[in-house]
Homo-oligomer: A and B are copies of this chain.
Amino acid sequence: MNSPFPTLYVDPDIVRSNIDRMVSKAEKAGVEFRPHFKTHQSKAIGKLFREFGVTGITVSSIKMAEYFLSDGWDDITIAFPANVLAHEYYNRITGKASLKTLVISEDVVQKLDRKLEHELGLYIEIDPAYGRSGVPVTELKRIRSLLKAIKNSDHCYPAGFYCHAGHTYKARSKDEVETISKEALQGLEAIQEHFPDLPICFGDTPSCSVLDEFGPVTQISPGNFVFYDWMQVQIGSCSPNEIAVYMECPVIEKFSDRNQVLIHGGAVHFSKDSVQVGDYLSYGEPMLKYLSEETYVKSLSQEHGIIQCSPDVFSKLNVGETIQIFPIHSCLTADLMREYHTKDGQVLDHMNGQQVGP
């Protein structure tokens, strides 16, 4: 029986296979695997990582750290720069777990240190020319001074360096990913030379999917690879059969004058993230027998989705049936859907589906 509403499905076999591949890669490369849990935000999916011996994890918010701490994860990096307003929350977590977060400026180290009650690890965030956040990788003097401030603090200790090469998301082939990520690794070599005793953690899914060796890097923390999505296919990180999640949406109406179908499935289900594919912008990609270059989610409003179809796909779709669609950005789709279904009828948790603080 098809659900009458947009539903997010996960295939645990593909999830396990994606985890297995990344665990093996980390082992072969001799780096610690500290996967990012911001994509799935699920205790049930987290348990699959435990099957592979994972103990240290990465999250993107304090709320998410508390969610996984409540399931027994006690070695957590919050891969977001320290928030001086949130000292009470850091104190709550550091009383129970080994917590690390990121830092960019001495000012924050000092402001935070005055309010901390327990030990907090600080990774210096390094910007590898991505331009979002972090100390530019070339500014060794500033990095040295920041490290000194961390060492001189009462409650903080240096956890190492954290580097997210988010500009790999602009790549559109494995070669392009490789070029960008190797440049980032090259920049990190100077960090390793000057601070050889400290770990270097490196994060993004495209780099970790495409590279086999990580040079100066000693830890990797990719997140999206657990599910992948249609954007990662475009980037060159994965193939469609490695995508572990899909949306199932009811076909509501057909518009034969324009080969379009209306589905129930909109911005509140998929998110408004999109990816340029050839000369169109895609908000989702119909899968299986509907996977076709001419068939894609053309637009989304709050609850409406419009699929532009090839004539062949259009003729196969029927009102009252459902269609399976790869999300563009699985992290945001999962964040909105707030639970996962499996084909055998299980429902897996998502942090947003629970009443958890803060």
Interface residues of chain A, those whose CB is within 8 Å of chain B, are: 2-5, 38, 60-63, 80-86, 88-89, 104-105, 107-108, 111, 131-133, 166, 250, 252-255, 258, 262, 264, 267-268, 271-273, 299, 301-304, 306, 319-320, 322, 331-332, 335-336, 338, 352, 355, 358
Across-interface contacts of A331 in B (CB, < 8 A): 302
Residue of B nearest to A267 (CB): B332
Across-interface contacts of A264 in B (CB, < 8 A): 61, 80, 83
Cβ of A250 and Cβ of B83 under 8 Å apart? yes
Across-interface contacts of A302 in B (CB, < 8 A): 38, 60, 331-332, 335
Which listed residue, B4, B85, B301, B319, touches A89 by the CB 8 Å rule?
B4
Across-interface contacts of A82 in B (CB, < 8 A): 252
Across-interface contacts of A133 in B (CB, < 8 A): 253, 255, 262, 304, 306
Which listed residue, B2, B86, B166, touches A5 by the CB 8 Å rule?
B86
Cβ of A60 and Cβ of B253 under 8 Å apart? no
With A4-B85, A320-B84 given, is the CB distance from A132 to B304 under 8 Å? yes
Cβ of B268 and Cβ of A332 under 8 Å apart? yes
Which listed residue, B60, B89, B272, touches A303 by the CB 8 Å rule?
B60
Residue of B nearest to A257 (CB): B136
Nearest-Cβ distance from residue A41 to partner chain B, whole angstroms: 10
Complex: how many Å from CA A268 to CA B299?
Answer: 20
Complex: how many Å from CA A262 to CA B104?
Answer: 11
27 contacts between A and B (CB under 8 A): A3-B85, A4-B89, A5-B63, A5-B86, A38-B303, A60-B303, A82-B252, A84-B319, A85-B250, A85-B320, A104-B253, A105-B253, A111-B320, A131-B258, A132-B262, A132-B301, A132-B304, A133-B255, A133-B262, A133-B306, A166-B301, A267-B271, A268-B335, A271-B271, A271-B272, A335-B336, A338-B352
Complex: how many Å from CA A107 to CA B252?
Answer: 11
Most buried by B among A132, A306, A322: A132
Across-interface contacts of A299 in B (CB, < 8 A): 132
Q: Please list the 8 inter-chain residue pairs (A to B) with the smallest Cβ-Cβ separation, ordered nearest first.
A: A4-B85, A4-B86, A272-B272, A84-B320, A60-B303, A85-B250, A268-B335, A81-B252
Complex: how many Å from CA A60 to CA B303?
Answer: 7
Complex: how many Å from CA A213 to CA B95?
Answer: 63
Nearest-Cβ distance from residue A115 to partner chain B, whole angstroms: 11
Complex: how many Å from CA A81 to CA B80?
Answer: 42
Complex: how many Å from CA A252 to CA B108?
Answer: 9
Nearest-Cβ distance from residue A271 to partner chain B, whole angstroms: 6
Residue of B nearest to A354 (CB): B355
Given contacts A84-B319, A267-B332, 19 further A-B pairs with CB under 8 A are: A2-B85, A3-B85, A4-B62, A4-B358, A5-B86, A61-B264, A82-B252, A83-B264, A85-B250, A111-B319, A132-B299, A132-B301, A133-B253, A268-B332, A271-B271, A272-B332, A302-B332, A302-B335, A336-B336
Residue of B nearest to A271 (CB): B272
Nearest-Cβ distance from residue A91 to partner chain B, whole angstroms: 12
Complex: how many Å from CA A38 to CA B304?
Answer: 13
With A80-B264, A85-B250, A133-B304 given, is the CB distance from A5 to B358 under 8 Å? yes
